[in-house]
Each structure stands twice: as structure tokens, then as C-alpha cells.
């Protein structure tokens, strides 16, 4: 296809504003998929994505469209992940296309993720077409939302297309706008190959599939290519496009988006953002801005039943095959036995992996408290990265610590603003900005990431009844007074419950954790002290009194079946416990103990 008849675009939207539904409609309207093959939300391929209604892996589809002017166009849609954890993948996908549809729910208005993603689109020099969705709903207010887009984002929204992805109104206009308002790609056919690696994933039959955008040159089946970040050479055995099923082609030229396979075994060997070129006389300079995604949140994953350790290893190996941004290494915990210390791009990423292990591999897990990566500066001048509070070196040898900070943007209706400011203040936040757009306030805070990884998002949702939206980006590291707080249960330290805290918050946090644990740990035949300590000094203490709850006490009379049932139930409840010395601690305690109310 010649460049003038190609349009490459992505759709940016806040979660639930209708991105997937709109994409499905565009595909359907152009007859790319027969109606009877059309499954809801075609682009969200993984079940878990469908269930949670979030898009995780970038996905793509090639659409043939005959415009009103009679000309044939090829439209390539790259679906971008909507969640903040995947910001780097979003930015790569954006670099692979020239324009974006900005989809805003006309009953809701602009949200924090809309902003984060649209700024990425603006950064990538996109032409942006605003689309107001859900106009079939009575609460739709297009004028207000268009005005808000102009106020908050600063782009012209007077020509915004009014759409219902549900009924199909405005879909034709959207296709025409893609053709007429978005620019055609540029590129040189005769130059050495320069293809951007946009995404990759593992396929059981074909091995690793690499999604590419051709910038210059031609990618052909049978050629040898070089991945510029690590110099590896590969023989290209297939080239193709998604429509949305795979269709093989002989070659892809400048401006085109498609995939290659090259007998690559692991997703790890392909890096998002890398440049692929000819093995000989290739491009001299790689495309700018390449950086491997770095995990920012770490936690331990341990099997509840230690006999399942090998199964867990298997599950983790398989998941890692398809997810280069998920890192892991073996970990031994005095309390929890063998497990893995895993690194994630963010909390959602953590949750997704954990859920998949539990569900797809049927392994019950204990997840330890998520921790961010601290920089530890030693008195001897060396510097370490701390991924696990349990590895915190002896305080006498430590000079100082630095923790990662974020810039958080929160959009919230006026009436909840006070609660949001209080929450941010409580989490050691520093206010950077506060402005208004209509009935909504936009607050920007500088916050320590460690105050956010745990339950910030849950708290934000609960204090604003779900009306706030939130997004963040990492800004860098800053020194602060941080200490490791240990928890002792029955005088034994439970390393999986250690956390890093700010010294000023330690007493409050310690007290809250001890109180929570007292509620969560069942009573035993003996008294159990629960303590929080910093370097051997106890700062909070609770005591769980001795008393064994006799679950059969209520069954007077000789109802044997009922008695049996209750005992079985008690046994099942026990399964989710883990023994620490003489004490059984339930699995949920490891997460719940850290939630702050
Ligand atoms: P993520 O994949 O989570 O980013 O969400 P999304 O932006 O892709 O939203 P999705 O397409 O899943 O739509 C969210 C919800 O809104 C779904 O329940 C859709 O059925 C509904 N929806 C989407 N478009 C419309 C519309 O035009 N009108 C109405 N009434 N509902 C719509």
C-alpha cells in the first residue's frame, strides 16, 4: 500500500469510556470480521482482561476501508493498555502511530487516565480527533464535555464526533475523520530497514510473535534481521498482519504495522521499543527513546502449601515467558519457606499475575506486603537497591536511604476535595497544584510511592464513593527518614510482615498493624503477644488472650451430622493458615494487616 492510503492510529480513553466497544464497531462497520464471528470486545483477548474490563497487552488490527471519496484505505489500529502500570507500553504504541481518537464518555467527562494518555499522544506529536461516546444515554451532555476537553486538555473540541459505540451512531463519521484528519505516515522504502518493536507475546504454536511498525525499508519473509539493543540476529520465518486473525503476507513496507516470527523462544529476548534492522548494512542509528521497562513494586509469592513450590515455579516460568516486565528470583523466608521475590510494573500488574497463578494454575498463595525499591547508601560509600525489607542491612552501617516519589494527578468532584486532600496529606504528600474544571477539581501531588502501593487507590475510591480518578508517574528518588519495622508474633519475628516506614509514622502504623493482626489471628490455647519493633525496640504491642473457640459448643443434643459439618468447616478454614512457630496465621493477614483505615 502506498503511504498516502495508510492511516495508523490508537484510541485513548479512560477505563470504561468505551474504547473496546468503539474498536469493535469500527471493525464491524468495515466488514473486517463477519458479524457472526464478532464476539464482544474482540481486542481484549485474554479472559482475565475481559473479566476485569481492562486492556493489558497492546493489540492491533488492520482494517480495509473504502471512504466516501471512493478511495481504498488501510487503517491500522493499535490498542493501547489503559492502565498507568503500563505507561511505557503506551508510550511505545503511541510512537508507532500518527494519530489518536480521544474517546470521552459524554455522561462522565475527562478523567485522570484520559489526561495521562492524551499527554502521551501529544508528546508523540499526534493529530487528535475527539470522540464523545455514549450519546444514547440520557445523561449524555456533549456540550459540557466538549468544553471541558478544551479547558483541561487545551485542544479544539468544537468538531468532536458524537458517537454511540453501542447503537452505531457516528461510526461512519469516525472512519471518515480518521481518513481526513489524521496524517499519512512517512518513511523511505529504499532506506535500510528500521522497524520498531511495539510489543511481543508468546504463542504456543509460533513461538514469540513480534508486533512491529515499519519506519523505513521493507521487512520480508526469509531475511535476516538484527535487534539493535542486544545485537542478536534472527531469521524471519513469517511476516503477517492482524485482521484481527493472523494473515501471512510476503512483506511489510514503510508505514505498515504487522508482525514477524523468527523462532524466538522467550519474550525476554525481545524488548519493547527496540529497533529491528538488516543484519548487514543495517541502520546506523536506532530509533530514539528505547528503555527496558523496570519493575517498581516487589513482593514475595509463597505457596500456602509448601508441597506446591515446584508447581509455583512452573507457573511463574510460564507466565514470565510471556511477560518480560515481570521479574522473579527465588526467596527463602524463615516464616514462609521457599517462594519467589517478584517484581512488577505496578499494583495492577501484581494483582493480575497473582490472580492468574491462583486461577489458571490453582495454587493458593501468600502474598507478602508490596514494597518499592529503596536506594540504600552505606557508610562505606557503597549503594544498594533494596527490594525486600527483610534484606535491610544493619542500621549502624547505613548512612541514609532514598525512596521513589511520584507525581499523582487526581480528578474529583468538588464535594470530595477535602477528603482527598486529607488523604494525600496523611500519606506524606506535598501539594503541587490545585485547579478547577467545571464541577471538578484537579489536584496534583508529590507523593512517596511507598504510601501509594498499598491501599491508596482503594482508600481514594472509598472516600470519594468511586468518583475520583487517579494516575501517576515516577519522578525520582529523594532522601527521607525511613526505617524497617518488624512484627513479632509470640516473640518470633515474622519476616514476611516487615515493612519500611517513615520514622514519624512508625508508631501509628505499628499500632494499627498489631491491632489488625489481633483481629485476624485466631485465638490459641496460650496467650500470644503481637509486637511491632524497630531495631529491637518495641514500639507497639497487643496481646491475644488464650481461649480456644469451641465451634461445636452450639450443638447441644446429639446432632452428629451437624457436628461433623462444623468440624469439616473448621478444617477447611485451617487450610488457609500457615504455622509460625506455634502460631497459625491466616493467609489474608499478610495483606490485611497493612491496610490503614
Ligand atoms: P477498558 O477496556 O477497561 O479500558 O474499557 P473500555 O474503555 O474499552 O470500555 P468498554 O468498551 O469496555 O465499555 C465500557 C462499558 O460501557 C461497557 O459496559 C460498554 O457496553 C459500555 N458502552 C460502551 N460504549 C457505549 C455507548 O455508546 N453507549 C452505552 N450506553 N454504553 C456503552
Q: Which ipTM score applies to this complex?
A: 0.97
Q: What is the pLDDT of residue 22?
A: 93
Among protein residues, the one whose CA lies closest to atom 10 of ligand 1 = 18
- Cβ 54 under 6 angstroms from ligand 1: yes
Q: What are phi and psi of 488, to 5 degrees?
A: -110, 125
Radius of gyration, CA atoms only, the chain: 27
Distance of alpha carbon 509 from alpha carbon 426, whole angstroms: 12
Distance 286 CA to ligand 1 centre (A): 38
* Cβ(82) – ligand 1 distance below 6 Å: yes
The protein residue with its alpha carbon nearest to ligand 1, atom 23, reads: 18
**Which of helix, strand or coil describes residue 490?**
coil
Give me the DSSP letters along 245-283: SEEE-SEE-TT-EEEEE-S---GGGS-TT-EEEESSS--
Cell numbers linked to 39: 464476539
Which atom of ligand 1 is nearest the CA belonging to 23? 11
Q: Whose CA is nearest to atom 4 of ligand 1?
A: 15
Q: Is there an atom of ligand 1 within 6 Å of 25 CB? A: no
261 in a labelled binding site: no
Identify the segments of the chain with pLDDT beneath 70: 32-58, 81-87, 322, 548-579, 587, 591, 594-597
Residue 435, Ramachandran bin (φ over 0: left; ψ between -120 and 50: alpha; else beta): beta
Residue 269 Cα to ligand 1 middle (Å): 35
Give me the pLDDT at residue 53, please: 39
Whether residue 18 is annotated as binding a ligand: the answer is yes
Question: Binding residue per annotation — 136?
Answer: yes
Q: What is the DSSP letter of 156?
A: -
46 touches ligand 1 (CB under 6 Å)? no
Regarding the beta carbon of 168 and ligand 1, being less than 6 Å apart is answered no
Quote the CA–CA distance of 281 and 349 in Å, as a whole number: 40
DSSP-based helix, strand, coil % in the chain, nearest 5:
30, 35, 35
User: Does any ligand 1 atom lie closer than 6 A to the CB of residue 166?
Assistant: yes
Could you tell me the distance, in angstroms and rounded to a whole number, from the CA of residue 30 to the centre of ligand 1?
Answer: 20
19 lines ligand 1 (CB under 6 A): yes
What is the C-alpha to C-alpha distance for residues 133 and 12, in angstroms, rounded to an integer? Answer: 12
For residue 164 and ligand 1, the question of a CB distance below 6 A is answered with: yes
**What's the confidence (pLDDT) of residue 577?**
64
Q: Is the CB of 275 under 6 A from ligand 1?
A: no
* Distance (Å, whole) CA 70 – CA 438: 43
Residue 22 alpha carbon to ligand 1 centre in Å = 8
**Distance, CA of 388 to CA of 40 (rounded, Å):** 42
CA–CA distance, 385 with 168 (Å, rounded to integer): 52
Q: Are 63 and 74 in contact (CB under 8 A)?
A: yes
Q: Is 316 annotated as a binding residue?
A: no
CA distance linking residue 121 with residue 90, whole number of Å:
9
The number of the ligand 1 atom at minimal distance from the alpha carbon of 52 is 3
**64 annotated as belonging to a binding site for a ligand:** no
- How far is the centre of ligand 1, averaged over its atoms, from the C-alpha of 107 (Å)? 12
Residue 17 Cβ < 6 Å to ligand 1? yes
* pTM more than 0.80: no
Between the CA of 111 and the centroid of ligand 1 the distance, in Å, is: 15
CA 44 to ligand 1: nearest atom: 2
The residue whose C-alpha atom lies closest to atom 3 belonging to ligand 1 is: 54
Q: Tell me the per-residue pLDDT of 37-65, one tens digit each, with 9 for 90 and over.
A: 555 545 544 444 444 433 334 478 899 99
At 242, list the grid cell.
Answer: 492482524
pLDDT at 470: 83
Give residue 587's pLDDT.
Answer: 67
pLDDT (tens digit per residue) in 420-443: 999 999 999 999 999 887 778 889
Q: How far is CA 234 from CA 227, 238, 324, in A?
A: 8, 12, 19
User: Would the CB of 59 count as within 6 Å of ligand 1?
Assistant: no
Angle at the Cα of 220 from the Cα atoms of 246 and 74, rounded to 5 degrees: 50
Q: Identify the pLDDT of residue 52.
A: 41
In angstroms, what is the span from residue 140 Cα to ligand 1's centroid? 14
Q: Which atom of ligand 1 is nearest to the CA of 49?
A: 2
Phi/psi at 93 (nearest 5 deg)?
Answer: -60, -40
- CA 394, 397, 399: angle at the middle one, nearest 5? 120
**131: enclosing H helix or E strand:** strand 127-133
**How far is residue 422's CA from residue 425's CA, in Å, rounded to a whole number?**
5
Residue 400 CB neighbours (<10 A) = 13
What integer pLDDT is reported at residue 177 of this predicted model? Answer: 97
Q: Measured at the alpha carbon of residue 352, what is the angle toward residues 91 and 336, in degrees to the nearest 5? A: 125
Strand 371-372 vs strand 374-378: parallel, antiparallel, or unpaired? unpaired
What is the 138 CA–ligand 1 centroid distance (Å)?
16
Amino acid at each position: 500500500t502506498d503511504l498516502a492510503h495508510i492511516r495508523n492510529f490508537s484510541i485513548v480513553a479512560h477505563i470504561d469510556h468505551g474504547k473496546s466497544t468503539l474498536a469493535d464497531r469500527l471493525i464491524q462497520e468495515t466488514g473486517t470480521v463477519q458479524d457472526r464471528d464478532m464476539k464482544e470486545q474482540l481486542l481484549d483477548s485474554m479472559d482475565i482482561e475481559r473479566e476485569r474490563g481492562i486492556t493489558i497487552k497492546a493489540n492491533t488490527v488492520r482494517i480495509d476501508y473504502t471512504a466516501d471519496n471512493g478511495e481504498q484505505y488501510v487503517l491500522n489500529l493499535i490498542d493501547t493498555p489503559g492502565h498507568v502500570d503500563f505507561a511505557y507500553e503506551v508510550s511505545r504504541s503511541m510512537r508507532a502511530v500518527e494519530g489518536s481518537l480521544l474517546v470521552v464518555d459524554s455522561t462522565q467527562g475527562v478523567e485522570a487516565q484520559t489526561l495521562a494518555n492524551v499527554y502521551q499522544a501529544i508528546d508523540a506529536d499526534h493529530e487528535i480527533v475527539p470522540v464523545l461516546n455514549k450519546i444514547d444515554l440520557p445523561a449524555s451532555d456533549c456540550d459540557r464535555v466538549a468544553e471541558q476537553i478544551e479547558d483541561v486538555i487545551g485542544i479544539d473540541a468544537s468538531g468532536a464526533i458524537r458517537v454511540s459505540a453501542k447503537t452505531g451512531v457516528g461510526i461512519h463519521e469516525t472512519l471518515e475523520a480518521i481518513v481526513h484528519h489524521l496524517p499519512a505516515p512517512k518513511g523511505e522504502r529504499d532506506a535500510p530497514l528500521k522497524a520498531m518493536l511495539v510489543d511481543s507475546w508468546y504463542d504456543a504454536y509460533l513461538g514469540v510473535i513480534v508486533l512491529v511498525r515499519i519506519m523505513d525499508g521493507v521487512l520480508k519473509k526469509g531475511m535476516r534481521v538484527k535487534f539493535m539493543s542486544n545485537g542478536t540476529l534472527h531469521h524471519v520465518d513469517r511476516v503477517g498482519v492482524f485482521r484481527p486473525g493472523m494473515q501471512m503476507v510476503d512483506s511489510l513496507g514503510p508505514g505498515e504495522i504487522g508482525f514477524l516470527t523468527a523462532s524466538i523462544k522467550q519474550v525476554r529476548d525481545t524488548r519493547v521499543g527496540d529497533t529491528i534492522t538488516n543484519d548487514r548494512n543495517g541502520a546506523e542509528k536506532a530509533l530514539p527513546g528505547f528503555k527496558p521497562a523496570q519493575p517498581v513494586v516487589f513482593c514475595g509469592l509463597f505457596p500456602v502449601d509448601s508441597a506446591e513450590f515446584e508447581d509455583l515455579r512452573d507457573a511463574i516460568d510460564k507466565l514470565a515467558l510471556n511477560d518480560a516486565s515481570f521479574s522473579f528470583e527465588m526467596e527463602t523466608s524463615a516464616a514462609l519457606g521457599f517462594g519467589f521475590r517478584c517484581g512488577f510494573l505496578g499494583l495492577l500488574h501484581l494483582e493480575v499475575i497473582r490472580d492468574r497463578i491462583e486461577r489458571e494454575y490453582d495454587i493458593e498463595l501468600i502474598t507478602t506486603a508490596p514494597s518499592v525499591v529503596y536506594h540504600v547508601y552505606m557508610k562505606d560509600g557503597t549503594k544498594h537497591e533494596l527490594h525486600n525489607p527483610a534484606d535491610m542491612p544493619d542500621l549502624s552501617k547505613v548512612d541514609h536511604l532514598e525512596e521513589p516519589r511520584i507525581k499523582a494527578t487526581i480528578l474529583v468532584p468538588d464535594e470530595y476535595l477535602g477528603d482527598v486532600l486529607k488523604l494525600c496529606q496523611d500519606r506524606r504528600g506535598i501539594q503541587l497544584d490545585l485547579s478547577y474544571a467545571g464541577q471538578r477539581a484537579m489536584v496534583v501531588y508529590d507523593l512517596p510511592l511507598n504510601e501509594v502501593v498499598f491501599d491508596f487507590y482503594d482508600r481514594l475510591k472509598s472516600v470519594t464513593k468511586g468518583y475520583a480518578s487517579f494516575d501517576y508517574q515516577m519522578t525520582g528518588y529523594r532522601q527521607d527518614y525511613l526505617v524497617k519495622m518488624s512484627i513479632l508474633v509470640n516473640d518470633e519475628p515474622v519476616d514476611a510482615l516487615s515493612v519500611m516506614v517513615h520514622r514519624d509514622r512508625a508508631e501509628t502504623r505499628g499500632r494499627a498493624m498489631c491491632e489488625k493482626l489481633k483481629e485476624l489471628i485466631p485465638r490459641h490455647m496460650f496467650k500470644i503477644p503481637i509486637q511491632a519493633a524497630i531495631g529491637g525496640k518495641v514500639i507497639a504491642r497487643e496481646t491475644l488472650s488464650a481461649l480456644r473457640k469451641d465451634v461445636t459448643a452450639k450443638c447441644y443434643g446429639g446432632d452428629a451430622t451437624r457436628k461433623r459439618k462444623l468440624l469439616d468447616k473448621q478444617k477447611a478454614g485451617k487450610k488457609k493458615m500457615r504455622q509460625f512457630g506455634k502460631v497459625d496465621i491466616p493467609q489474608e493477614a499478610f495483606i490485611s494487616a497493612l491496610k490503614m483505615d
